[in-house]
Amino acid sequence: MKRGMTVTADPCWLRYEKLEPERAETVARLFGRIVVADRSPFAEIAAEELAEALTSMTGVRPKRARMPGADGGLVVGTIGGSGWIDGVVGPCDARAICGDGFVIRTAEREGGRYTVIAAASGRGLIYGAFHLLRLIGTGALPAVFNIAESPRMPFRLLNHWDNLDGSVERGYAGRSLWFDRGRIVRNTARIETYARLIASVGINGVVLNNVNVGEREARLITEEYLPGVARLADVFRRYGVRIFLSVDFSAPVSVGGLSTADPLDDRVRAWWRQTADGIYRRIPDFGGFLVKADSEFRPGPFTYGRDHADGANMLADALAPHGGLVVWRAFVYNCRQDWRDRTTDRARAAYDHFRPLDGRFRDNVVLQIKNGPMDFQVREPVSPLFGAMPTTNQMLELQITQEYTGQQRHLCFLVPQWKEVLDFDTYARGPGSTVARVVDGSLFGRCACGIAGVANVGDAPNWTGHDLAQANLYGFGRLAWNPDLQARSIAEEWTLLTFGRDPFVRDVVVRMLLDSWRIYENYTTPFGLGWMVNPGHHYGPNPEGYEYSPWGTYHRADREAIGIDRSVRTGTGFAGQYFPPNAERFESPETCPEELLLFFHRLPYTYRLRSGKTLVQHMYDAHFEGAEQAAGLVEAWSSLRGRIDEQRFVRVLERLKEQAEHAKEWRDVINSYFWRRSGIPDEQGRPLY
């Protein structure tokens, strides 16, 4: 499809399908009138969203009114912006919700029954409107409203790895929504739709460009591109989303013409201050910078004998007068490791680099830490850096785009994985010190915290390439808003909003989603192995694709054993980076969670698991089972024919059939590899090659 052609974008979970007649009548009666109680532009957008959605769901367009009347209806407005609102929502309510929070309340006034959506900020009105519509769409509408919600995470960001030429690094859903052939696009209709989509799940920030900043992309902070960036900011601002830019640490040299990018050099510091001033003149609410430094050939402060606190603080000082944030990635390691060296452990890198710097970062710096110590594998332990820096802001980085989990050609619902990360107890301040409490700021009293997700969208008509991959984007937003939500409830919400209220469809799709991560793990790399993928593009099985590379991603399988010894007693010491009792639990194969067994330990193929199976036999069984389960996904989806529109049904069926065939390839390649390595046949006599 050529750029510029009209594309009808899938509405995703904002479909607003017609309600059943009786329910439609009830909703139309309750919300048949919409009053905007103040002049906030956000209030107008919230009212517009409500009107369009309610019209679609009931067949009756709500009336707009300037003042509440006796016939009741919806009233939308900010606290303190309307006397009428303040008469319903008092000071206690205002204190109960933070900046982006909202109240939805039933009120009896002037002889009418009203549903009030009130918020301390304009953004809160948008979130409140979408929440009300979510309740209507899922059939969870209460008889009386008394809802007060605030997001747990102050910053809820999407990291887009988009390049100016329109390509997307690790993108599996088409090209960039806002960059094309070295330019910023002028037609922003699709971008506005996207802003609306992500605002509906509470996202409040978007990083526009790739963390691996190219030569041209480094100039996005200059007047050459800032007018276009400002135009994008205008679009996102309407839905309460601030924009951020990834920056090249060496930009003072590559863009500014200086001889150095030393963060302690006065000329460099002045250049960044001037650059920040120029950005904020164009974009007064600019969010800040995302930085990848000293990793995977990216420049950084190490070049000049400085540390990461020096580099981050220099940028933070430039942004601080404007209220900007430096998001500094903790993805830093030696990417030129000697595979012969068994003492160097990539998993240790983030902790070893950053733990000693705690207390040295400015208050407007946040460390963005990947969920695990390696790189978004299907299974790895939670990074021990979470909780280890009590005087430093921390942000969790998740990967929504499925680089190592099927690249949106395979179904892999990642919310259960993310829940395990958020619920993981670090024990940083005793029991209950979960990752969620670290990154929402509550554990250590930090303010600039949150969650970032590497986005999975592109210009594909269905946004994500695989229709069911939309659930990961939805789920990310919902967890960023409230990490206490359960995977099942998120899956049910998304399914009802996306495919309608047929209970059979709901049950089938929810089960497929909830099972999919474990299925993918079964036919790819159980026990926390990871990395058995083709180098570069990372799709498909290759047991030794990275085994002799410099990237530090080894499993060290030989004829006797497999896995990395990361114990303190005999291995790399990585297990000792955790707080007790996690360190104690990971230290021994007998107490280590079996799903992470080979991440932490090197064990013989004949090692007996708690089930009584040998390690290699479990490996065989898991891969055969996983391939069968992948075929079962095809069968499950096929049962929905006629219950889902044909276009989406066929698209998903094609993807699932591809997944089932590819699962067989994974099964046969990995199982044959272990048979050839170990010489131990499958006890059940199934084919190995």
248, 403, 621, 682: which one is catalytic?
403
| C-alpha angle 637-639-642 in degrees, rounded to nearest 5 | 100
CB 23 within 8 A of CB 103: no
Per DSSP, the residues of 608-637 read BPTTS-BHHHHHHHHHHHHHHHHHHHHHHH
C-alpha 367/C-alpha 395 separation (Å) is 6
Q: How far is CA 638 from CA 491, 492, 654, in A?
A: 19, 19, 11
Helix residue ranges, H only, 283-380:
308-319, 349-354
Q: How far is CA 670 from CA 46, 127, 237, 245, 622, in A?
A: 52, 46, 48, 41, 11
17 is catalytic: no
Q: How far is CA 384 from CA 31, 59, 181, 222, 348, in A?
A: 49, 53, 41, 38, 9
| C-alpha angle 568-571-577 in degrees, rounded to nearest 5 | 40
C-alpha 65/C-alpha 71 separation (Å) is 11
Determine which helix (DSSP H) or strand (DSSP E) holds 498, and give its type and residue range: helix 487-499
Question: Residue 341: exposed, middle, or buried by beta-carbon count in 10 A (0-12, 13-18, 19+)?
Answer: exposed
Of 285, 458, 312, the closest CA to residue 395 belongs to 312
CB 109 within 8 A of CB 137: no
296 is catalytic: yes
C-alpha 207/C-alpha 247 separation (Å) is 10
226, HSE (Cβ side, Cα atoms, 13 Å) = 14
Output the six-digit token pair for 299: 């420049």
3-state secondary structure of 291: strand
Residues 6+ apart with CB under 8 A from 659: 406, 409, 410, 411, 630, 633
375, 380, 492, 521: which one is catalytic?
375
Output the six-digit token pair for 250: 């060496």
Amino acid at 160: H
3-state secondary structure 525-559: CHHHCCCCECCCCCCCECCCCCCCCCCCCCCCCCC
C-alpha 133/C-alpha 142 separation (Å) is 12
| C-alpha angle 280-285-288 in degrees, rounded to nearest 5 | 75
375 is catalytic: yes
20, 223, 224, 296: which one is catalytic?
296
Neighbours of 190 (CB within 10 A): 16
Cis previous bond, 581, omega within 30? yes
Which positions are annotated as active-site residues?
A: 296, 375, 403
